[in-house]
A and B are shown apart, each in its own frame.
Chain A
Amino acid sequence: MIRFDNVSKRYPGGHEALSNLMLDIDAGELVFVTGHSGAGKSTLLRLIGLIERPTRGQVLVDKRSTRGIGRRGLAAYRRDIGMVFQDHKLLFDRTVFDNVALPLVITGLRPRDIGKRVRAALDQVDLLSKEKQRPETLSSGEQQRVGIARAIVARPKIVIADEPTGNLDPELSRGIMTLFERFRDIGVTLLIASHDLSLITEMGHRRITLDRGRLTADSANPSGQQAFEID
């Protein structure tokens, strides 16, 4: 579903966030990306969302190179990818309902269908009772769940989440992760960057570790061949 083909990303100023990354993720996989801050976790996710472009190599999504996707194709591409951000990225002048409805409104879905699907998504993150509130009246954990509802409401094939449990207590974190497992069960491919090692270990999904832009461990490929093959 997602393939990183010898991808490097160097930011202006010379900092290399990713170096010669080789990675294959199958459809319906739930993969945790771990590593210290600055290890390249966010960059990896941003390359999938086309918020960044690789300096070298290419990223393939759904067997299609993302290199050829220009400004015009970008919007349609992103509609198939749900993104969850650490800082939520919610619109504070709109209600919870309107925030979650955004990905559906832009596709031109009929208002009646939008209502149904938004409520279904809010129900999944347990926020149905707060649909008329504005995000600032919610706790950080609740805002994060609004962001998750928005990411899944359009039923994307891929969900990428950058530290989705960064500000949550362990109980809520576990709830969110269980939610992600449910999406995995209906065929969604998920990439989740997190440094909550104990929770990740406990859940036991595929886990890749980055260190200063290099892939240093992959639980699906314990020998670590991938990392050394490239050097």
Chain B
Amino acid sequence: MQAWIGRHAQTALASLGKLAESPLATVLTVLVIGVTLALPGALQVLVKNALTVSGGWQGATDFSMYLQPDIDRAAADQLGNLLASRADIADVTLVDADEALEAFAENSGFGAALDALDNNPLPHALVVRPIASLSPEASALLKQELENLPEADIVQLDTEWVSRFQAMLQLVRRSILLAAGMLGLALLVVIGNTIRLDIQNRRDEIEIMQLVGASDGFIRRPFLYTGFWYGLAGGLAAVVLVAVATALLAGPVSALAGLYGGSWRLSGLDLRETGVLVAVGVGLGLAGSWLATARHMRRIEPK
């Protein structure tokens, strides 16, 4: 067993040494693998962060309840107090029609146009915040109940767009998986082709090994280790590339978050994702070299 490990370690180191003999070609191949793996890795980071941010928004499940235009301030107040006493509602805020118009005039720049109106077209509105533990089903029921009130005109769930955004992110996430699959296939070809050239360059050596009685497995082993090293180095290169990209974007992202009053920060690859990226690299390296040796080594016969 010990001897077996020793032989494998020796083969692994010898393969590494062979790669070090032609550093430029090795670095280029590793970069190709690294960049290809970094692409889905970076997209994963992007989606993950977008999900985190939109998840924060999801917590705010406020309803905007626009009242009928003929409801006056006192009736609106009364309704607000009534609703606030319900067990499934945490808080109700009244948005006065006149205050809303004022704020709109100020923020929209339509001040002069609005002055031309005889009366305020806006109704009073209630912002209803349900209790945090309310399930989506109960929330939908509540919405329906509010809509059925005679005073209510329109009830809007403010977070509907958040759900849509998250659904879109799920779609993007699925697309990333598909893209990653295709890129993986491309990597298999790249690594397989590199090993194929290596096999052709060492044809004489393989023939001599066959003549002294080396088994196919023995001859194949150094090429498998070469694929392993390519995959490992490529995976690590991808991790570094994603980390660099994350670091470069962290500044602008926190500035953007600050402008929106948020404080979230860009998070890079976590330990698990790093592990997956490196493992995928190693897996593709081994698979690519295995395919290349299976396909091309058998064609070599000593002459």
Kindly state whether residue B3 has any CB partner on chain A within 8 Å. Answer: yes
Residue numbers in A under 8 Å from B6 (CB-CB)? 111
Cross-chain contact B208 with A89 (CB below 8 angstroms):
yes
Chain A residue nearest to B302 in the complex (CB): A51
Q: Are A91 and B213 in contact (CB under 8 A)?
A: no
B104 within 8 A of A: no
In the bound complex, do residue B213 and residue A79 qualify as a contact, i.e. CB atoms below 8 Å apart?
yes
CA A108 – CA B215 in complex, angstroms? 12
Report whether A102 and B7 are in contact in the complex, using a CB–CB cutoff of 8 Å.
no
In the assembled complex, A174 has its CB within 8 A of some CB on chain B: no
Minimum CB–CB distance for A92 against chain B, Å: 9
In the complex, what's the smallest C-beta–C-beta distance from A101 to chain B, in angstroms?
10
- A116 contacts partner chain B, Cβ-Cβ < 8 Å: no
Partner-binding segment picked from A5-13, A70-78, A175-183, A204-212: A70-78
A33 adjacent to chain B (CB < 8 Å): no
CB distance from A190 to the nearest CB of B (A): 17
Quick check: B213 and A75 within 8 Å, CB to CB? yes
How far in angstroms is the closest Cβ of chain B from A75?
4
The answer to the question of A106 belonging to the interface, with a C-beta cut-off of 8 Å to chain B, is yes
Q: Among B205, B212, B213, B298, which residue has the most Cβ atoms of chain A within 10 A?
A: B212
Known: A83-B211, A91-B208. Contact between A108 and B216, CB under 8 A? no
Q: Which chain A residues numbered 67 to 95 have a C-beta less than 8 Å away from chain B?
A: 71, 74-81, 83, 89-91
Q: Are B216 and A71 closer than 8 Å at their CB atoms?
A: yes
Tell yes or no: A214 within 8 A of B by CB: no
In B206-220, which residues have CB < 8 Å from any A CB? 207-216, 218
Chain A residues in 8 Å Cβ range of B218: 75, 106
How many Å lie between the Cα of A83 and that of B207 in the bound state? 13
Q: How far is the CB of A148 from chain B (nearest CB, A)?
A: 13
- What CA separation (Å) do A110 and B5 show in the bound complex? 12
Q: Which residue of A lies closest to B217 (CB)?
A: A75
Chain B positions within 8 Å of A90 at CB level: 208
Which residues from chain B contact A108 at a C-beta distance below 8 Å? 3-4, 7
Interface size for chain B: under 10, 10 to 19, 20 to 34, or 35 or more residues? 20 to 34
In the assembled complex, A49 has its CB within 8 A of some CB on chain B:
yes
A91→B205 contact, CB < 8 A:
yes
- A150 beta carbon closer than 8 Å to chain B: yes
**Is the Cβ of B205 less than 8 Å from the Cβ of A106?**
no
B residues less than 8 Å from A54 (CB atoms): none
Which B residues are in CB contact (< 8 Å) with A213?
Answer: none
CB–CB B7/A78 < 8 A? no
Given A51-B302, A108-B3, A108-B7, CB of A89 within 8 Å of CB of B213 = no
- Decide yes or no whether A103 CB sits under 8 A from chain B: yes
Closest-CB distance, B160 to chain A (whole angstroms): 66
Cross-chain contact A49 with B211 (CB below 8 angstroms): yes
Residues of chain A lying within 8 A (CB to CB) of residue B216 = 71, 75
Q: Which residue of B lies closest to A80 (CB)?
A: B213
Q: Which residues 232-288 of B sit at the A interface, judged by CB distance below 8 A?
A: none
- Bound-state CA distance A102–B210 (Å) is 11
A78 touches which of B204, B205, B207, B212 (Cβ 8 Å): B212
- B7 contact set on A, CB distance < 8 A: 108
10 pairs of A and B residues whose beta carbons are closest in the complex = A79-B213, A78-B213, A75-B215, A106-B214, A103-B212, A75-B213, A89-B208, A106-B218, A102-B212, A51-B302
Can you list 20 contacts pairing A with B, beta carbon distance less than 8 Å? Answer: A51-B303, A75-B214, A75-B215, A76-B215, A78-B211, A79-B213, A80-B213, A81-B213, A83-B211, A89-B207, A90-B208, A91-B208, A102-B209, A102-B214, A106-B212, A106-B214, A106-B215, A106-B218, A110-B3, A111-B6
